[in-house]
């Protein structure tokens, strides 16, 4: 019985990397393998989808940012990373099982992507509106409505200028794939720390994958501009941004 | 010299993602591993010669996934993932190597990851001759390196 053609050879055939003679060998081997030619067809069919989902225009700039080869100085980037790390430490994250989307207080914004904030008060879940006041120690639950957008990043800026990424929570470099179909609640809630004045959240979305660092850098630039409370993130036109600000008070 | 990373991504990015998906079986982890591969490629783009890019990226993806499996210590789900776990957990040819060092050696063509060779041979079904060609080594060199993993990966016992 002949062996299954290794995936690498099928990939090389699909990408046109093989010599004519070698390509014929591999194609013949696939033809004699049950489902072999379907494997080749599946690869060719999925390439366009993958590049549409993770376009080079977004992935490679993100890789250059991560590799420190985007023209920005490494010192500046290091300082930026340090600021983000401090912000992460400042916020305590604990899993909380709630489903704000099931409450009657869910706020919808038509077809536009939107953020929803809820305060957890014991067993109650209270919807928060933009501009409302929250206290240090309040536990906040974030939800989003993707409204057809496929990728998103949620960051916050607090009154001390700390930038925190809330979604995605993984260590990847690209925006999270958003969950469609109404409000989606993040799997963790956040306890507000004692940063003064305000806590402002941004929900940045797009049809295609984009770099988290793009959003982080824009948020950091907004902090440095001194207009973090009311200004907008400076982002490319294909990225959509919604913000939600809470005023802060101390207990 | 150097390469066009953007062009490489457009041509081979889907292959890298498919490889990561197949080895990690976790969409988020696979996407991150694919990104890691291209971050490393960017870091070394000036030093790489445009020679056999698909083999290079396939090996990089394999090595990156093995490092992730090694660090995660996941629970084996079936025989195939159990084999990957054992290969990932096995010490490599060089003791005390780091992921960065390993990628350096891949690009320098000095020491290919022995564990990557084991995956190519045992999981993917490549012959030793094919592994040698993919890794730019001699067959005897591949055989010698794989023998070092016998104690950890019983499937390599057959290699003389």
Q: Write the CATH number for B22.
A: 1.20.140
Q: Which residues of A touch B10 (CB under 8 A)?
A: 51, 56
Residue of A nearest to B9 (CA): A56
Distance CA A194, CA A249 (A): 9
Residue A185 near residue A127 (C-beta atoms within 8 A): no
CB contact under 8 A, B13 and A172: no
* pLDDT surpasses 60 at B97: no
Distance CA A128, CA A148 (A): 24
CB contact under 8 A, A63 and B5: yes
What pLDDT is recorded for position B136? 85
Q: Which residues of B touch A46 (CB under 8 A)?
A: 14, 18
In 3D space, the residue among B102, B114, B6 whose CA is nearest the CA of residue B60 turns out to be B102
- Considering only CB atoms, A17 lies closest to which of B40, B54, B124, namely B54
Most confident range (mean pLDDT) of A59-68, B7-16, B95-104 is B7-16
Q: Indicate whether this model's pTM tops 0.80.
A: no
CB contact under 8 A, A56 and B6: yes
The structural domains of chain A, with segments of one domain joined by +, span 7-53, 57-249
> pLDDT tens digits, chain A, 251 residues: what are they?
578 999 999 999 999 999 999 999 999 999 999 999 999 999 999 998 889 888 888 788 778 877 765 543 333 233 333 333 333 333 323 333 233 332 222 223 346 899 989 888 776 778 888 888 888 888 888 989 998 899 999 999 998 899 999 999 876 788 999 998 778 888 778 888 888 888 999 999 999 889 998 899 999 999 999 889 889 999 988 899 999 999 888 76
What pLDDT is recorded for position B1? 60
Average pLDDT, integer, range B48-60: 88
Q: Does A47 touch chain B (CB under 8 A)?
A: yes
Distance CA A65, CA A204 (A): 18
- Considering only CB atoms, A171 lies closest to which of B32, B34, B40, namely B32
Residue B146, both tokens: 């794989």
Q: What would the pLDDT profile of B127-154 be if each residue is shown by its tens digit?
A: 999 999 998 889 998 998 888 887 778 7
> Which residues have CB under 8 Å from A177's CB, separation 6+?
A150, A151
Give the structural domain span for B138: 5-158
Chain B closest CA to A246's CA: distance in Å? Answer: 31
What pLDDT is recorded for position A53? 85
Q: Does domain A57-249 fall into CATH 3.40.50.720?
A: no
Instruction: Please give the tally of structural domains in chain B.
Output: 1
Average pLDDT, integer, range B85-97: 65
Q: Does A69 touch chain B (CB under 8 A)?
A: yes
DSSP H or E segment with residue A203: strand A198-206
CB atoms within 10 A of CB A136: 15
Sheet holding A124-128, edge to edge: A92-94, A183-191, A139-145, A114-121, A124-128
Chain A closest CA to B62's CA: distance in Å? Answer: 11
What pLDDT is recorded for position A24? 95
CB contact under 8 A, B6 and A46: no
In 3D space, the residue among A220, A207, A216, A134 whose CA is nearest the CA of residue A177 turns out to be A207
What pLDDT is recorded for position A84? 35
């Amino acid at each position: 019985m002949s062996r299954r053609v290794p995936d690498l050879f099928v990939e090389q055939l699909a990408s046109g990397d093989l010599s004519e003679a070698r390509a014929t060998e591999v194609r013949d081997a696939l033809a004699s393998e049950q489902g072999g030619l379907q494997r080749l067809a599946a690869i060719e069919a999925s390439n366009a989808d993958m590049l549409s989902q993770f376009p080079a225009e977004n992935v490679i700039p993100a890789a250059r940012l991560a590799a420190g080869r985007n023209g920005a100085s490494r010192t500046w980037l290091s300082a930026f990373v340090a600021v983000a790390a401090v912000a992460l430490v400042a916020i305590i994250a604990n899993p909380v099982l709630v489903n704000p989307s099931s409450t009657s207080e869910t706020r919808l914004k038509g077809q536009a992507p939107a953020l929803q904030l809820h305060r957890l008060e014991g067993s109650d879940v209270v919807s928060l509106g933009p501009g409302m006041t929250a206290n240090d120690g309040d536990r906040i639950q974030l939800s989003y409505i993707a409204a057809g957008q496929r990728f998103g990043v949620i960051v916050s800026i607090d009154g001390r200028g700390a930038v925190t990424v809330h979604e995605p929570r993984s260590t990847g470099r690209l925006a999270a794939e958003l969950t469609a179909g109404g409000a989606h609640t993040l799997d963790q809630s956040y306890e507000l720390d004692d940063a003064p004045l305000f806590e402002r959240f941004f929900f940045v979305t797009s049809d295609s994958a984009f770099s988290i660092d793009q959003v982080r850098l824009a948020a950091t630039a907004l902090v440095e501009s001194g207009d973090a409370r009311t200004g907008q993130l400076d982002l490319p036109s294909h990225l959509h941004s919604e913000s939600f600000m809470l005023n802060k008070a101390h207990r | 010299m150097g390469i066009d990373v953007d062009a490489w991504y457009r041509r081979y990015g889907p292959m890298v993602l498919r490889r990561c998906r197949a080895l990690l079986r976790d969409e988020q982890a696979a996407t991150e591993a694919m990104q890691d591969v291209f971050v490393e490629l960017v870091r070394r783009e000036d030093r790489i010669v445009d020679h056999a890019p698909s083999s290079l990226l396939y090996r990089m993806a394999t090595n990156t996934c093995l490092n992730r499996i090694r660090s995660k210590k996941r629970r084996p789900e079936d025989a195939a993932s159990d084999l990957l776990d054992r290969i990932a957990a096995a010490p490599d040819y060089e003791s005390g190597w780091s992921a960065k060092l390993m990628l350096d050696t891949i690009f320098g063509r000095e020491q290919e990851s022995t564990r990557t060779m084991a995956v190519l041979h045992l999981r993917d079904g490549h012959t030793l001759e094919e592994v040698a060609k993919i890794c730019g080594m001699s067959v005897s060199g591949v055989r010698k390196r794989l023998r070092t993993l016998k104690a950890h990966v019983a499937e390599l016992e057959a290699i003389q």
